Structure formats: C-alpha cells, structure tokens
Structure 1
Amino acid sequence: MKFRAKIIGKGSLDLFIQVSSTVARLVKVCVLRVCPDRMCFGSAGSGGLQEARLWCEVQQRAFQQFRMEGVSEELNEIHLELMAEHLSRAARSAVGASSLKLQLTHKRCPCLTVVVELASPLGRVRSVMHDLPVRVLPRRVWRDCLPPSLSASDVSIYLPRWRTLRSIVERMVNVGDHVLLEANLSGKMTLSIETEVVSIKSYFKNLGNPPKSAVGVPQNRDLESMVQVRVDNRKLLQFLEGQQINPPTALCNIWDNALLHLVLVQEDVSLQYFIPAL
C-alpha cells in the first residue's frame, strides 16, 4: 500500500484545514478511506444508525498531487483509523504555509505523516513534520466504514441561514434535550421543543426543495403535509457548531420518525451527517 498527496496554495490549504477541523469536532476517532479519485472521512465503529454518523468526501482535484496504491488491483483502497484531533492539529499548523504533504509511512508503527512547509521572512523553507499513528483496517471491516445505504427520503428541503438556525438550536438546548424538526415539499420547515413549563416553535417558509425531491412522490400526496423527526438537540447543535466549511448548498433529508440526514455540498467537498430519531 502506498499513499502520497500534496496541497499547494492558500485556498486548497484552507479547505483542508476546514475539513479536518469539522471532522474533529464531530467524531473522536475517524476512518480515513483513500480511493484513486477521492479521500473520505467516516465515523469509526460498526455500521448502522444507532448513533450519529459522519461521512465526508474530498475529491482528488482538491489536491495538486495525489497518488495511491491500494491493497490490490481489485481492491484499490486503503482504510486507516486515526484520532481526528491529531489530524486537525497537524492541519492547523499549515496556516500560512506554502504546502502540506500527506504520506503513509511506517515508523515503528504505521503512520500518516503530515509535512508542512513554512516560508521564513528570509526566504528559507522550514519543514514541520507530524507522525500520526494509524491502524490499518483489514478488509473484513471495510463494509462497516461505508455510509448507510438508504431509500429515498420522505422530504428533502434546503436549510435556512446557518447562523439563524444555529442561534435557534442553541437557545433550545437550554430548554430541553429533544427537538422536533418538521418539513414539507412546499419549502416550509419548523423547529419546536416542548416541556411541562414552556413551548417554543420557529417557522421557516420559502426555503425551497431540491428538484429531485419530488421524484417518485405519489400524485395524490399533499405537498403541504409535514414529515417529522425528533432528534437529540445536542447532536444537532454539535453539527451546526462543528462545521467549518461554509458551503453554498446545505439541505436536510427526513425519513418520517426515523432519521435526519444533513448534507453540505461545496465544489470539491461533500459532508453528510446522520442523526437517528429518538
């Protein structure tokens, strides 16, 4: 197995720093899946949706150099398990750097080596190296590292302004543990929380639905009917506070009383977060 990648330029470096920081805020241990055309970050542990799960993809074109050889020609992939905070800390050291290199190495144990090149005021290049211990995952557990396979959602809707949504959820966390999210195919969404003492509900309209959201919908379905899912308020807030990517497209998919699926899409990056219903 071999893997080597290089990032050059402020825009690409900033994007990788944002991605690694977001991953570290959402999971403690992550699985890094390296494929010929992309690099993926996923939640560690067995597959399934008993708890919130992450899946993030960074396309090969986000790197200026990207070479890899998997375990075989038929299975041209590499799966590594590592501490997400270790990678985030190494990436943050590349702020203001000229380049960042990633390489799979073996130094007493398998490592993901991160080399950051910093230019000094005198024009000299100073290199900072981080050796991050990793666990090479055997093929028998690869399937557990993939995102869940899901049928078409009951509702798909664009999210409101990020800052507004985060502010509302922050206030709701202080009221109760569970938040009810409802949405329909007419661009409407509500967030509500109710206790014995207080009831709070926020309304959004004209959010819009992705074009494909109506595919397969029965003709007799009422587009105003709401689909709902109740989730852990702190898990939702963790996602809203954790993402650093600031993508142009943010939406959520809802399976009625089953699952909340949050999706962020940028040119070279996509991030998905799955929160099971309570």
Structure 2
Amino acid sequence: MKFRAVMIDAGPMREFSNVVTIISKLSKECVLRLTDDHLYFIVSEENSGPTPPILWCEIPQAMFCSEYQMLGLDEEHKDIYLAFSSGNLARSLVTLKTAKSLKMKLTKKQCPCLTLEIEMPSTTSQQTRQVTHDIPVTVIPRKLWTDYHEPRIPDPDISIELPSLKQLRTTIDRMRTMTSEVVIRASAEGRLTLQIKTDMAKVSTRFKGLRVEAFGGPIDHSDSETETQMNEDMSRVCYCRVDAKKLSMFLSADQIATNRTVCSIVHRKLVILCLTTDENVKLQCFIGGIVY
C-alpha cells in the first residue's frame, strides 16, 4: 500500500486543519479512508464496538491536493483504511494556518505511520524550515471495512436549513449550563425551536423564516412529549431530544467557512446535521434521539 498527497493552497490547508480539529473534539479516535477521489474521516461511538458512524466527513482530494497518489491492496480492493488518534493529527496540523505546504504520506518506521511534512516560512531569513510529524496508525484489515461504510439512515421527516452556527452554539452552550439534554423542534413553516426544561425553569429559543428543504408529514404526535404552541398545527412539526454536548461539539464547526448547514430530523429518533462548504467538503453528524 502506498499513499502520498501534497497541499499548497492556504485556504484548503486551513479548512483541512479546522475539519480535523472538529473531529478531534467529537472523538479521541477516528478512521481515515483513502480512495482515488476522496478522503473520508469516520468517527464511531467510543467503547461500543462496531457501530454505525456518528460522524462522516468526505473531502474531495482534487479540491485540496496539488498531488495525490495512492495504491491499495490490489485492483479489486483499492481503498486504504487507517485508524489513529484524532487529537494527534489535530495538534500536528495547528501550524497549517501559516504553512507554505503540507505533504502527507504513509510510511513504515517502528510501526505504520501517517507522516506529515510541513514547510514553514522562517522568521529570520528567506529560507524555509520543515517540520515532520509521525502519527502512528493501525491499518484496518479488509474483513472489517464494512464497519466503516456510510450509514444507511431512514428518510427524515423534515429537513430545514440552519441559521448561523455561531449563534446556535452560543444558545446551546447557555442551555447546557442548566441541563444535559435539548429538544430540537422543526416545523414545515420554517421555524426551528430549541427547548430545555428543568425543575427550576423552562427555556426555548425560536428561529423563524428558515428554508425547509423537505417535509414528509403529517407527523403523528399521539405519544408526543412536547407542548402545543398557540395556533400551531402539530401534524407539521417534528422533534427529537438529543445530548446537548454532542450538539454543541458539532456546532463548533462554525470556524469552518460553511456554504450551508441542514438539520434533518427523523421524528423522536435521530437528528442528522449536514454541513457543506464551497470546497465541497461534506460533514455529517448523526445524533441519536433520547426517548423516555
């Protein structure tokens, strides 16, 4: 197996570093899948064995890399799957914001490594200096590849475009000081509501006039926990109760120059957050619903 990629453009390098930083906040470990066309970062629930990913990120290599070469096991099995510490990679990429180039390659040292060679400008002369990081990786055997396929999810009941991620994260972080769970409600009329309820207080924040990408209603609320709002047709509203910390971690992606972010809800069961950028990076986060 062989892999070598080079990045020389400042914008894509900065975005690549930001994406890896987001991933490192969601999980200590991740898997990098290398294909001819894309780099995929995959995160599963920690300490839970083989499970569907909670995060799926795809990066088109042509938009980021000036050079890209890879060779898999054979013609039939061309991909490469590497498991490693996401924190190690994120820390190694911190200097990309001022770097001139990044070279990544798969090497064999005391163990298999993802080697990063970062060319940095010198502060004292016209010359450059090279910083090298060796990140130990585990090559995932072919028999386990199916554990890292893109998740199959049911058709969502509603998909709605989100407002500013920074504004949402500020709201969620304030709610997290009072409770660990938040209810996300979305209506076919373009309203998104974040709700929490404690013994001491009931708080909700509503965003209006949002674009609805799809609605598969009507929604059955025969066992609903939510309260009906005045003059609101509940058959056109769905919700899901989720972990506020996981939601906040995804919203820290506000540091990425997003094109748009869409929230899709499978009523009471699942929230899918999908962020896309101008460089065609697609970052999906799957947060399971909390049901009592």
Which deviates further from its counterpart, 117-126 or 229-238? 117-126
Q: Distance in 2 between matches of 1:151 and 1:193?
A: 26
Report the equivalent of 2:40.
40
Report the equivalent of 1:256.
267
1:64 to 47, 63, 66: 66
TM-score normalised per structure 1: 0.92
User: Does the residue aligned with 1:94 lie in a helix, a strand or coil?
Assistant: helix
Q: Distance in 2 between matches of 1:134 and 1:73?
A: 23
Answer whether contact 2:157 2:238 (CA < 8 A) is retained: yes
Report the equivalent of 1:91.
93
User: Does the residue aligned with 2:30 lie in a helix, a strand or coil?
Assistant: strand
Give the Å deviation of 1:268: 2.7
2:175 to 172, 176, 185: 172
CA separation of 1:220 and 1:113: change in aligned 2, threshold 3 A: closer
Which structure 1 segments of 5+ residues have no match? none
CA separation of 1:220 and 1:103: change in aligned 2, threshold 3 A: closer
Give the Å deviation of 1:243: 5.1
The residue identity in structure 2 corresponding to 1:275 is: I
Report the equivalent of 2:249.
238
Which deviates further from its counterpart, 72-81 or 139-148? 139-148
Report the equivalent of 2:289.
277
Which deviates further from its counterpart, 242-251 or 171-180? 242-251
Give the Å deviation of 1:47: 2.2
Give the Å deviation of 1:163: 2.0
CA separation of 1:79 and 1:243: change in aligned 2, threshold 3 A: farther
Q: Distance in 1 between matches of 2:69 and 2:189?
A: 45
Give the Å deviation of 1:91: 1.1
CA separation of 1:193 and 1:73: change in aligned 2, threshold 3 A: same
Q: Distance in 2 between matches of 1:70 and 1:231?
A: 39
Give the Å deviation of 1:228: 0.8
Give the Å deviation of 1:151: 2.3
Give the Å deviation of 1:269: 0.8
Answer whether contact 2:121 2:129 (CA < 8 A) is retained: yes
Report the equivalent of 2:192.
189
CA separation of 1:202 and 1:224: change in aligned 2, threshold 3 A: farther
Q: Distance in 2 between matches of 1:100 and 1:268?
A: 20
RMSD between aligned residues: 1.9
User: Does the residue aligned with 1:151 lie in a helix, a strand or coil?
Assistant: coil
Give the Å deviation of 1:141: 1.2
Report the equivalent of 2:280.
268
Q: How does 1:22-41 map onto structure 2 within 5 Å?
A: 22-41=22-41
Q: Distance in 2 between matches of 1:39 and 1:208?
A: 30
Give the Å deviation of 1:112: 0.2
Q: Distance in 1 between matches of 2:144 and 2:137?
A: 15
Q: Distance in 2 between matches of 1:219 and 1:47?
A: 31
CA separation of 1:223 and 1:5: change in aligned 2, threshold 3 A: farther
Q: Distance in 2 between matches of 1:64 and 1:130?
A: 20
Q: Distance in 1 between matches of 2:111 and 2:92?
A: 18
User: Does the residue aligned with 1:122 lie in a helix, a strand or coil?
Assistant: coil
How many residue pairs get aligned? The number is 271
Report the equivalent of 2:143.
140
User: Does the residue aligned with 2:93 lie in a helix, a strand or coil?
Assistant: helix
Q: Distance in 1 between matches of 2:152 and 2:57?
A: 15
Q: Distance in 2 between matches of 1:197 and 1:155?
A: 31
Answer whether contact 2:22 2:249 (CA < 8 A) is retained: no
Which structure 2 segments of 5+ residues have no match? 221-232
Q: Distance in 2 between matches of 1:262 and 1:104?
A: 31
Give the Å deviation of 1:126: 1.3
